[in-house]
Structure 1
Amino acid sequence: MRKKYLNPPPNTLETPICKSCPGEAHDPLECVKDIQRRCPRLPAVSGLPFRIGQSPLIKNAPTTCAPCPQPAPENLSNKQLRHRAFKSAQQLQHQKDANLKFAGQEQIMAHVCRKNRDINIRMFHKSFIAYADSCCKHIVAIVKFYPFATMDSSLMARFQTLSHHLIAQSKFQNPNYSNGPAYAGHLFSLGWRKAYESKTTVGITGIAEKVSRDRKGWEDLQTHLPEVNRFIGERFEALSKPLFDEVKDHFQPLEAPGLSPDFITNPDAFTCHLSFTLNNFANQCHSDRDSSPYTFVTWLPINKSTGQLVEGPLDGFGGEFVFPKHGFGIDFSGFQGVVDSPQKPKELCN
């Protein structure tokens, strides 16, 4: 009896050749050098500090990649040209309808993911939506930029409150070093998660020794978690109600507690856990294993010492967030504001 494989059997798989590392056999989609080669806006060397909005402090850094090969021109009849124009207009309208449905606006840049090792990675510095394919039915990510210059003062105040709250919470925690792909910065967690003490199944994140130094202050912080939960939920729902509803519909049947200090079911909750990062956090290329259909991500420029929003030029490392296997990335350089994004955690590799 002959076995059938949905994918080639292991002994027939060919190791991809990385163009940026001659003589080395590894997946180019996970190679930092090859990712940099495919990003026209990224410097050839990573990890050097620069002021966002200015040129990287690297001499002779390449600014362009080799042009992608273009197909030979076709000789089409007038009828074929009209049909092609009709199909193009039809596809454009279909994309606009999808943009309006998922992102709430027709006129937003769109990206169709193509897992091609040879094409340049498309870097975005304005709001956009990434579709899994040209059918525009499956969302990989929606990214929206909100500049401080046009942001309502009350909304900015809520972001400021969120920032102060997270900085205060970090004082009662240790960074999470169990996140394998991380190689820079610190990752912290809030809310309910699996507990590690015997005879317990869930617990709220907090280091007992640090909590004991100011238990009243820690307990007061936890009472503000429901407001944090509401604010993040409002941001997610305002950005894309269809994706928010999908996450909420997945979460509610679990009857899990919301992001609050009380272990009770919340009919308005959409999550029971929140991770936040500080100190220029960075990961190796990886995919998350979240059970939720989408993860809601916010990039908030803050002073880590005070928790104050940074509204002016920002000193930092990097300035880009890249999805190499899907051919796109987010370029934060020069932007002064907040960036929100629901993303497909299991599908995206970043």
Structure 2
Amino acid sequence: MWMFYVTALIFVCTVPKIILGGCPKECVCRGTGGANVKCPASVDFPESFPANTEKIVIDEFTVTEIPPKAFDNLPNLTSISFSRCNFGQVSACAFPKNHKNLKLIQFDMTVIGEMKQGAFSYLNPVSIVFSKSSITTMRGYSFWNINTALQLSFTQTTVHLIEPYAFYNVNSSLELRYDGGALKTLRSMAFANTRFNSVVLQNISFDKMECHVFPELDRISSLTIAGSQFMCNCDILYMKSALPFSPSLKKLVETGTCKSPEQLKGMAMNDVLVNNKVENCPEVKTQTIQDCRPPQEIPTPACPDRIVMGDGKSNESGSSSSKTKPGGGADNAKLSLALAVIIFVGIII
């Protein structure tokens, strides 16, 4: 009889948590079944979330990565918010593909070292918002194969480098907005095969913009460009010969001013280019889109398994690991254990 009570106790204490997916130790879960999850101040990313999670708020995390499949198996998830976090990287497939209910992914006052290939791909209609944040590098194909109502917004955010093809095959019926902040270096074809219905670029500080950064920009239905600032050095001279062929570049130049060097600070970019006020530069040849197209080898989409801390092995980002896990809910091993306990109790009874 004592074995019955022990087994029943194990069943009562363990099985509900296994089946539902317990609240991560880094987090607090409230609402029905822990539907609202808040995770404050941690150096470990949660291994999983309750299966019925609807909203996730992650605050003051300092971790190596947002791992692959971090939010998988959460069918009721509607929003993910990051605030005052520091992530070494956003991994491939960090966010769930073709999720029917996820409507908001938000980064506020957050530092991201690197966005990996496929960090954002195959999304359903969703709003992605960056505010007062910093991104060191957007790798090629960071935003990839997104054909939906994507609303993408950057406000007072600095991106240090956007590599060629960082945006590829992105087509949205909504808006791309970049308002305030800085785009330090934009490589050629950074926004390749990419089109939004509306684009707003205003009050942005540029350090270097290579040719043909956004080939589809001249075909945007609604385009707003105003208040840009540039480093007026030899890197901008190619723009002079390109102006007659690109209305968007012309608008960028006509509404832009120089932020450096000191002798050109505050001057209108158009005046600087037309009157050849950038001195001591080598001769600049007229560039076509073929001249500006970096080599391209379209990769095969792939989602690595999620790596969980444990045995000292390292994944690509350098974190230790021992096994793979889904992002949310319970894994198959735990479900098998739950079923075994249920069967065992039934046998005893």
TM-score range, shorter chain: under 0.3
| Larger relative contact order (Cα-Cα within 8 Å, sequence gap ≥ 6) | 1
The structure that is helix-richer by fraction is 1
The two structures have a TM-score, normalised by structure 1, of 0.20
Structure of greater Rg: 2
